[in-house]
Amino acid sequence: MTVEADELRGDAYYNEFYKTGGWKYSLWKETRGHRKNVVKRFGLRRGMRVLEVACGAGLHTAMLTRMGFDAVGVDRSSGGIEWARQHHPEARYVCCDFREMPFEPQSFDVVLARGCSHYHYDLMSRKALHSTATIMRFIRPGGMFIMIIASDLSGQREPDKIWQNTLEDYRRHFEFFGLQSSVDWVDGMAICALYNVPAVEIREAAPREEAVLSV
Ligand SMILES: C[S@@+](CC[C@H](N)C(=O)[O-])C[C@H]1O[C@@H](n2cnc3c(N)ncnc32)[C@H](O)[C@@H]1O
């Protein structure tokens, strides 16, 4: 499968899926895991402005809000955002494609992308690289991008399934940006970060596929 095929089934699939709240997470497990693997690992401090892209039904954005972060979640599934607003009203949400977010450039300390489909396929495709470049644009100079995604690291690329990218695949993606980065794997999830993101500008007029080259 490609991210394009995933996107094609995207909204209808997720709107239906989120009618019953999407994945059934254990709040206790998610909170414990994110305290250890995100907050402590990357030294995040209460009060930081955190943007969660592809927040789905909002559980993690709400969890970050309750931990004391100034968090906002973005997802393009109206069903996901509706569920989030109804069931996790303590956080703020915006329903839009993360490539068209209505925020000021450089307005977040941290952007978190957890389970974002764009990181499930070819990580060196223009689309995947452009996703990271787009996200970086919303991070203040010195801020951080954290990406978390499920993979068994086997390298399997079966048709009609998400890819199981290896740690080397993730490393290559993040090293492309020429910044300090880290790549780890904990409990079936790749946990990657870009540190000290510089002021990033993307030429607005450039076609999406070319914009990544100006980072
Ligand atoms: C696998 S789900 C993960 C949801 C949530 N982060 C979680 O971990 O449970 C992927 C989410 O990405 C969202 N998504 C995919 N492409 C997107 C895009 N271009 N802009 C915003 N959201 C997107 C989908 O709507 C879906 O909610």
Q: What is the largest CA-CA distance in the chain?
A: 45
Give the burial class of 85: count Cβ atoms within 10 A of its Cβ; 0-12 exposed, 13-18 middle, 19 or more buried: middle
Tens of pLDDT along 18-49? Answer: 999 999 999 999 999 999 999 999 999 999 99
Q: Rounded to 10 degrees, what is the CA torsion of 39, 99, 185, 61? A: 30
- Please tell me which residue, 122 or 8, carries the higher pLDDT value: 122
Banded model confidence at residue 9, pLDDT cuts 50, 70, 90: low
116 lines ligand 1 (CB under 6 A): yes
pLDDT at 172: 98
Is 50 exceeded by the pLDDT of residue 210?
A: no
Segment 72-78 mean pLDDT: 97
Banded model confidence at residue 202, pLDDT cuts 50, 70, 90: low
Compute, in angstroms, the gap from residue 115 CA to the centroid of ligand 1. 7
**Strand residue runs (E) in the chain:** 49-53, 70-75, 92-95, 108-114, 139-150, 181-186, 189-197
| Residue 87 and residue 108 in contact, taking contact as beta carbons nearer than 8 Å | no
Domain ranges of the chain: 3-213
Antiparallel, parallel or unpaired: β 92-95 and 139-150: unpaired
Percent helix / strand / coil, the chain, rounded to 5: 40, 25, 40
Structure tokens at 147: 């990406």
pLDDT at 174: 97
- Ligand 1 atom 3: the closest Cα is on which residue? 115
Is 70 exceeded by the pLDDT of residue 54?
A: yes
Strand-pairing partners, residue 82, are none
Rg (CA), the chain: 16
Banded model confidence at residue 11, pLDDT cuts 50, 70, 90: confident
Compute, in angstroms, the gap from residue 59 CA to the centroid of ligand 1. 12
13 lines ligand 1 (CB under 6 A): no
Tens of pLDDT along 90-136? Answer: 999 999 999 999 999 999 999 999 999 899 999 999 999 999 999 99
Three-state secondary-structure class, residue 172: helix
* Residues 27, 32: Cα–Cα separation, whole Å: 8
Three-state secondary-structure class, residue 20: helix
DSSP H or E stretch at residue 66: helix 59-66
| Residue 214 and residue 60 in contact, taking contact as beta carbons nearer than 8 Å | no
- Region label for 142, one of left (φ > 0), alpha (ψ between -120 and 50) or beta (otherwise): left
CATH number of 3-213: 3.40.50.150
| Residue 51 and residue 96 in contact, taking contact as beta carbons nearer than 8 Å | no
Closest CA to 63 of 78, 44, 77, 79: 44
| Distance, first Cα to last Cα, the chain | 27
Compute, in angstroms, the gap from residue 177 CA to the centroid of ligand 1. 23
98 lines ligand 1 (CB under 6 A): yes
131 lines ligand 1 (CB under 6 A): no
